[in-house]
Copies of this chain bind each other. A is one copy, B any other.
């Protein structure tokens, strides 16, 4: 099925974090013509390490869409080697964040170009093209925006919480440093204003850690609210747990019910349809239209199948609206 584009009815914009979201983005890239797909990626996990600008979510999305992602880890590149990290350890350097020899090249090329004055958008576009990706991959912002995790062990930069401490500290709050000055890029705004826009898909990424930093950018949530085309989110909760990552723990710590209703409420002001998993047959969710599909994506076919389903649901939503 891969490579056969079934969708030719306008631009699809996906909002996406790393691993889980990238799976659906890959599915979408197999069924939407490349020139019609824009993936807007969270940049609030970005950080400086060894002087390099690391963009974990952008890289995961790029590697995933390029077919280069490690299946073993869910991050980084397949067939990776670790001689750099071994040498860092020999030198007594910081080894808590693993950077493979080839993965490192992406960060190095990015950092070099950012220091020469290119924007993250330009660099990301060139890297994606170099990796053979046809779809447009856009960082949500070219400006510094950094998730800060307030925990019972103090305030932690995101990667120190997420990778360094394996999400173990109890989270008491989240904030985004740089929000006073960060703006969505002109390219992001243009994608959402595109006359041919057919739907916005919120991928099954962590709403608090991956999607909120996108939504928090000035004007972005209002743009989604004002859209005339459907916004369809795929729930990252399945059977009241996350497939991967700290979502369940985080929701509890932040005082939210760990429920599909909380996901629907989180996106309430702009969401038209929430796609939940078939295992959640008994769930009652107030607010958006709810559709049940197989959302767990184990194989490439699963990713493609869910992408097709989400696009079909968006088309139905247009028809439903027309009838309403």
Contacts and interface: CB of A to CB of B under 8 A. Distances in A.
A78 interface: no
Given A50-B109, A50-B111, A51-B115, A101 B130 contact: no
Interface string A115-152: 10000000000110011000000000000000000000
B105 A84 contact: yes
Contact of A102 (B83, B92, B108, B109): B83
Residue from the set A52, A81, A83, A104 with the largest chain B CB neighbour count within 10 Å: A83
A50 B50 CA distance: 11
Interface of A: 48-53, 81, 83-88, 90-94, 101-106, 108-109, 111-112, 114-115, 126-127, 130-131
Contacts of A92: 109, 126, 130
Which secondary structure characterizes the binding site on chain A? helix
The 8 A-B residue pairs with the shortest CB-CB distance in the complex, in nearest-first order: A87-B105, A51-B111, A93-B109, A50-B108, A87-B102, A83-B101, A50-B112, A88-B105
Nearest to A82: B101
A101 B100 CA distance: 9
A244 B216 CA distance: 58
Contact of A52 (B52, B88, B106): B52
B109 A84 contact: no
A88 B108 CA distance: 8
